[in-house]
Structure 1
């Protein structure tokens, strides 16, 4: 999910707490130190609990005072930075982060509008603008309509393998018994770790080059392997367009997780390929696309 830079999410209560709390601690430490000095210097005699303890306590108060001063400086700097940001004054790093965030927001908004236009064209019986890609063989009734990077993962388990940690042991009965117990513990740990790693979970997480056609989603993995996920083979689909995530389950292969700024148009083609015009008009998961495009078109 796209989030604004943390420093842009101003929490004034937290910002002011960053310098007020250290300041209060400094005042409290100074008062405590003065009281300690006043008590220990009466008639030039140390406190009854001993000069060593008094010196140690003074040292602890000094360390606390220095730490509070450091946090006070940090808090004041944070306050100044927050006030400058509220007036549109940023460091170079902050400006880059803010520009990147604003670019991503605009890109997602444009991608949603593009998905809305695609939806409208499909409903009107028009063919959206395709592009030429000579690297992938397409069927005669198939054309590529979008290409972008997506987050990619698959959900499956593997066979568990582990070693029992066999040992050749020599020694007395107590030594042999201890060695056997240690070997059993190591073997059990290896087994549990292997079972956890083999359990069904999301794997192969990576960025892929994705091609969206009217019949399938093509994922070109980092190792160059090309995988095709045909819409007609989908058994279940879960869209979360607010977070730009899609999970697809298939009749004959492991589930697929897709994430990216261009998932809206992919969702449109998936619904069109499975449910046709009726799905484009009524599928509830496409409502964000229909609403956004309808508001602009109006």
Structure 2
């Protein structure tokens, strides 16, 4: 599978997120602790919001730990909302168009998981994508198809409802083809102002997902920890696995739950697919 992080808060230098933590995303690309695969070397991507209408995206097929340009770019760029992803393919090609995050307008999307039996049901899924959106599909992954199904079902207007409908549709199609557990996902999407992160699987055994505890509380608990003093009180992180071993710093997102982060406010809600 894959590993990813989603950051929101005061502007932060991208290298501080990707390289500096004890269990940074670069470390996870080589030695993930909670993923299905230890190595996530089939490409990477970073998306960030600046002063333009659409977010910037930098993606490549090299392993993240090997790309010198990634280090150069992240040392120069700061942003208040960042998505970053390292990929372990579940069978589709190692190519740039298959690297996350995916972008549509102001939206970013990244995924850890899989649609079971994707080659068998891909045609049915793709035919349900809005014809006006279909030309935007550039790669061959189940993650991108799920993104475009969610867009078709209203992702730009109501992400939780759209993703519930998209996941429900995939489950219906999969089960029609005899697939018992079609969906496995830990997915995040953002419009640059709000981030939504979802943890769900048809089997009820989802991939790992965590969010950071309140930074001001942690700072009071660990006054001598310099990393905490570099983060603003409104900093929020959602991650595939914790970026460090600091006790109390990370909380697991429960099964069948989605997390909403807007400014410094986090809320969790139950998540369930909706049949069409």
TM-score, normalization by structure 1: 0.21
Higher strand share: 2
**Quick one: higher RCO (CA 8 Å, sep 6+), 1 or 2?**
2
TM-score, normalization by structure 2: 0.22
